[in-house]
Amino acid sequence: MNTRFSFVWWVTVAMLALGSLWPEPRTGLLRSMLGELVTLLPLTVFVALMAGWLASSTIANRLRNTLDSRPWHAIFFAALIGTVTPVCGIASVPLVAALLRQGIPIAAAMAFWLSSPITDPGMLILTAGILGWPFAIGKLLAALLLGLVAGVVAQILSYWKPQSRWVREGALQQSATSSCDLSAQSRFVAEAKATFGLVVRWLAFALTLEALVRVHLGDVGYSILTAANSVWAVPVAVAIGGPLYIEGYAALPLLRGLIDMGLTLGAAMAFLISGAAISLYSAIAVWSLVRPAIFGLYLTLGIVGALVAGWVTDMAMT
């Protein structure tokens, strides 16, 4: 067990203990976190197997060569694929980690992991049914544009700072598992185990943190959302949407009710985008991969993108 692994688990245990005892004893916090972790276990296993396959096959090398020679095409297709594929934040980041260890440009990774959690075909249809087609199409376009802008910014910055200085050493060091002196089966097993450990430890951390936020800020956050005037509604929605993340399918009926109580459509858009693109799940997973400066860029792009999408929605739909 390495130091980083131990530290993350110890912090998670400490938060669980503190949250279960303060400000009053409660037994549901641990049960809630473990229940969510078990529910997400099939997805975690799928992600680990997919990462192992990427490490043991030749597709990553071919993809890397294609993307290296056409970086701007790579950004467009990464944003487009992220927009239309049903991959949530906690699943997309480990897959991106496996590709980064194979040398995929980080600009394409940035485009993918900011656009991917926001929408997918199923989410598009459900959003249209609950909030209307104009809102659903606007969300789809916001996801695509956010991915494109993120990729372009990352690509421009990569001309001044090499990719090796963007990613944490721990994430890149795992590339040894896919070195040529290992068999395909060994590479598959090593990468799958490394990815499974990465997802489980950071997912447990994120679920615990999310549960604490819900306990202490849930009702207050929703009351602030509906009470904010039109000037502050979008920024408040962004500030609440990420930490108070609700899974996208569950958030739609809730937002429908909040809109009936006076929440603006722009605030609803900002809430959904910030809650998906920079949710605790995604943000903590991204933090485990990249250095603080790049993590700050990721957060900044997500926050600004959610703000702009919210304001544009209010202007277009009022």
Q: Which of 190, 233, 154 is nearest to 52 (CA)?
A: 190
Tell me what pLDDT residue 4 has. 47
Quick: pLDDT tens for 94-150.
667 666 766 677 888 888 888 888 877 777 887 888 888 999 999 999 999 999 999
3-state secondary structure (DSSP) of residue 2? coil
Tell me what pLDDT residue 283 has. 79
- Give the contacts of 296 (CB within 8 A, at least 6 positions apart): none
User: Is the pLDDT reported for residue 258 higher than 60?
Assistant: yes
Tell me what pLDDT residue 1 has. 44
Tell me what pLDDT residue 35 has. 83
Got the DSSP string for 53-94?
HHHHSSHHHHHHHHHHH-HHHHHHHHHHHHHHS---HHHHHH
Measured distance CA(264)–CA(175) in Å, rounded: 47
Q: Locate 27 and state its tokens.
A: 């037994």
Confidence of residue 223 (pLDDT cuts 50, 70, 90): low
CB atoms inside a 10 Å sphere around CB 39: 10
Which residue has tokens 């499974």? Answer: 196
**φ, ψ dihedrals at 156, nearest 5°:** -65, -45
Quick: pLDDT tens for 157-200.
887 776 667 777 665 554 444 444 456 677 778 777 877 877 77
Whether 272 contacts 139, CB under 8 Å: yes
Q: Where along the chain do its domains lie? A: 3-316
Higher pLDDT, 41 or 270: 270
Across the range 263-277, mean pLDDT stands at: 88
Q: Locate 133 and state its tokens.
A: 């087609």
- Give the contacts of 84 (CB within 8 A, at least 6 positions apart): 120, 121
Q: What is the largest CA-CA distance in the chain?
A: 62
Query: What's the whole-number average pLDDT of the chain?
Result: 75
Across the range 218-229, mean pLDDT stands at: 56
Tell me what pLDDT residue 181 has. 47
Tell me what pLDDT residue 290 has. 82
Q: Which of 306, 3, 318, 315 is nearest to 139 (CA)?
A: 306
Measured distance CA(210)–CA(39) in Å, rounded: 15
* pTM for this prediction: 0.70
CA 49 to chain centre: 19
Measured distance CA(255)–CA(268) in Å, rounded: 6
Tell me what pLDDT residue 225 has. 61
Tell me what pLDDT residue 309 has. 95
Tell me what pLDDT residue 301 has. 93
